[in-house]
Amino acid sequence: MLSEYVMPGDKIEIRPVNQDDFGGEVLVRKKIYQSQVSDILSEDRLEILMPMEKTRLISLPVNSEYVIHFFTDTGIYQSSAIVVDVYKPNKSFVLLLQLTTGLRKTQRREFYRLDCAIGINIRPLEEDEIRAAARHDKYLRPNLPFRQALAVDISGGGLRFVGDKVYEPNSLIYCQYSLTFGEKKKDYSLMAKVLVSIEIENKPGTYEHRAQYINIDTTEREEIIRFIFEEERKRRKREKGL
């Protein structure tokens, strides 16, 4: 079944399993790694490239268990897997995975993040805007100043951005950015909750944030997801020289 749906080069997301609650919520949400399939060895074994975080290789421990999301041309599939081995057959380190469950098609497309470099405008929400957001009201004050930042990845669930201002975890922000669909550009104005904020090593005064959208329309979320998958298809074609 694996080789029918998954191919070398397909992107994947790797999420650790919470061993304390295997039957319920199995994902530890703080740890998400991205990689891609290197080779399919059998219907329950495959090689993946060792994940990277910035410029650092992440060697996942042997015998550790993960939930894998495969992003393929026919949809998104989920399976659990155990790391069996780590080795370097050619120039790149790979992890050998043993699937422990069959593939299951999933609609959780908002998980996939697209690396990007998109200019965005950011500002914190004011108190009256926060109260409105709690009522699921999208009231926003006009003409308040923004700060510029750079989105370095986006997903249907949120974004990661870098800028010169620190936003505290759990604070609410207002962000604006544009996405291009073919020859058309669409502007997005979205509220988000800051999940993580850290100062970037060796770059004093520069901060990286992860934020999750709040009160986002289903249509807007689906458009962002469509943009991500269209961009991913374009990148695949360029890599294949098409």
Q: Within this chain, do residues 203 and 153 fall inside the same structural domain, yes or no?
A: yes
- Strand 172-181 and strand 184-199: pairing? antiparallel
Q: Within this chain, do residues 90 and 160 fall inside the same structural domain, yes or no?
A: no
Q: What is the CATH classification number for the domain harbouring 72? A: 2.30.110.10
Q: Within this chain, do residues 48 and 90 fall inside the same structural domain, yes or no?
A: yes
Determine the structural domain holding residue 82 and report its residue range. 2-107
In the chain, the number of structural domains is: 2
Q: Within a domain: residue 242?
A: no
DSSP SS3 for 226 = helix
Burial 89-98 (b: 16+ CB within 10 A, else e): eeeebbbbbb
Domain boundary among 107, 128, 154: 107
Q: Within this chain, do residues 130 and 227 fall inside the same structural domain, yes or no?
A: yes
Per-residue pLDDT tens, the chain, 242 aa: give them.
788 899 998 888 898 875 433 344 343 444 678 889 999 999 999 999 998 876 788 889 999 999 898 888 777 888 999 999 999 888 789 999 999 999 988 766 666 788 899 999 999 999 999 999 888 888 899 889 999 999 999 988 899 999 999 999 999 999 999 999 888 999 999 999 998 899 888 888 999 999 999 999 888 988 998 898 888 888 877 876 65
Q: How far is 182 from 64, CA to CA, in rounded Å?
A: 42
Contact 16, 66 (CB under 8 A): yes
What pLDDT score does 137 carry?
87
The model carries a pTM of 0.62
Type of residue found at 178: S
Q: Within a domain: residue 219?
A: yes
What pLDDT score does 22 carry?
33
125 contact partners, CB below 8 Å, separation of at least 6:
133, 140, 171, 172, 173, 174, 191
Q: Within this chain, do residues 230 and 121 fall inside the same structural domain, yes or no?
A: yes
Q: Within this chain, do residues 51 and 77 fall inside the same structural domain, yes or no?
A: yes
